[in-house]
Amino acid sequence: QMSANDCQDPPDYWTIHGLWPDKTEECNRTWHFNVSEIKDLMPDMRHYWPDVLHSSLNRTQFWKHEWEKHGTCAATLQVLNSQKKYFGKTLELYQHVDLNSCLLKAGIKPSSSYYQMTAIKEALTRFYGVTPKIQCLPPEEGEKAQTIGQIEFCFTKELQLRNCTALKGESDSMQADLKLGTEELSVCSDTLPTYYPSQVQ
């Protein structure tokens, strides 16, 4: 939906946005992103963590942003204390969570009809044993349905799944972190019908 968007063929599966510590951002501005450190992760990075918004050279702009804003803070954990570990571990967590097959197993797939948000939440909670945070684009003018946009899983510092609960002092900017055009993702409403589009127009 972004005017400068050159996303010709958006992936038809859930991709990675990032791995974010809860309360900190941009912890080390001198620790610059170096794509050569993750060169052996590239096939997986391009597939599971694509930059669908920027046509930057080699499409590394998104990863650079995630590393500088979040990775430099995540690196206080030994298991994430290099670019290779940060991106590699995120790919590993993505495979472990396997959201794509979980939703399919629960019968939740892209469709032109609407879902109840509570049904999506219940399916995810039943499958994972924890409550994720589901974010939506609010209805556009004249529409009644919200559009599912992002599903966030929360982890302990030991990288075990935990419930996503709003933490005291968690800033609103950490909640969204992603603007789609002029719209911003926000926590989905339980009462609005929910659209899970099969084709992004």
Alpha-helical runs (H) found in the chain: 42-48, 61-66, 72-74, 83-97, 99-105, 117-128, 172-176
Q: Is 47 a catalytic residue?
A: no
Give the C-alpha distances (Å, rounded to integers) separating 32 from 68, 71, 78, 134: 7, 10, 18, 31
Tokens 């050159």: give the residue.
6
Q: Which of 70, 140, 170, 183 does the annotation list as catalytic?
A: 70
The catalytically annotated residue of 17, 32, 47, 96 is: 17
What are 201's two structure tokens? Answer: 């127009």
CA dihedral sign, ordered 69, 159, 97, 119? negative
- Of 65, 66, 122, 140, the catalytic one is 66
Determine whether 70 is an active site residue.
Answer: yes
Residue 122: active-site member: no
Which residue numbers are catalytic?
A: 17, 66, 70
